[in-house]
Structure 1
């Protein structure tokens, strides 16, 4: 016959095993990110009326952003992308001047990031690029972007 203390020991051991498994899985996931699954990218973000936040470092009140349509943002990004791809402009310089993201102060550099750290469309586009490639227009809840994978 099992006593209450026997049941408690069994329950404790299952709980400890479950916790150990969770820690192991979490460690494996984070080490896979560290072991090369991270990418590095820069981007140019143009916010518009549909963006989740209507303010930026260069438009703190969001006055211009609230007036900008998504179509206007996309048209601006297409033009900027054309200038970058043709060699007329440098990605970092364009990001510093036009991006609504605070990363503009670093030429659009977002640093390294792993899966699950960015919005899904942004992540998918970045991981699909080769180092040095520039994406087409990518739409997220933050606005419209062009992305350059840098690492």
Structure 2
């Protein structure tokens, strides 16, 4: 089916000491990232997810402020992508969501994410 071939999604990425790249737009030298454990990153992301799900905050606003990905400048929007374009755990999570649904914590080599499927 065509709808399963490509999805559109946004995400929030929190990098940690195990991330493959320790720099981000908000931590260019990777100082904070290098001292953040995976569990600390996941806990922060869980708190942010709860604020979004409870209606206290908007996904794009949280992404713009907290995400370590350069997509933060677009509210976390990654645009459309097909299978084989993202890391496998990310791809599986994004394709497994319904439009408007927000994932739980997704681990990749880049860090921990929450993903919102937008189309």
Taking structure 2 as the reference length, what is the TM-score of the superposition? Answer: 0.97
Question: Distance between the aligned counterparts of 2:19 and 2:51, measured in 1?
Answer: 25
Question: Distance between the aligned counterparts of 2:54 and 2:26, measured in 1?
Answer: 27
Displacement over 6 Å in runs of 4+: none
Structure 2: where are the runs of 5+ without partners?
A: none
**Is residue 149 of structure 1 aligned with residue 114 of structure 2?**
no
| Residue number in structure 2 paired with 1:73 | 41
Q: 1:93 aligns with which of 43, 48, 61?
A: 61
| Residue number in structure 1 paired with 2:15 | 47
- 3-state SS of 1:132 partner: coil
Name the larger-Rg structure.
Answer: 1
- How much has 1:40 moved relative to structure 2? 0.3
| Residue number in structure 2 paired with 1:5 | none
Q: 2:30 aligns with which of 55, 59, 62?
A: 62
Note the 1:1-150 alignment, pairs <5 A.
35-36=2-3, 37-150=5-118
- How much has 1:140 moved relative to structure 2? 0.1
**The structure with more helix, counted as a fraction of residues:** 1
Taking structure 1 as the reference length, what is the TM-score of the superposition? Answer: 0.77
Q: How many residues align?
A: 118
Higher relative contact order (CA 8 A, sep 6+): 2
**RMSD in angstroms over aligned alpha carbons?**
0.9
- How much has 1:111 moved relative to structure 2? 0.1
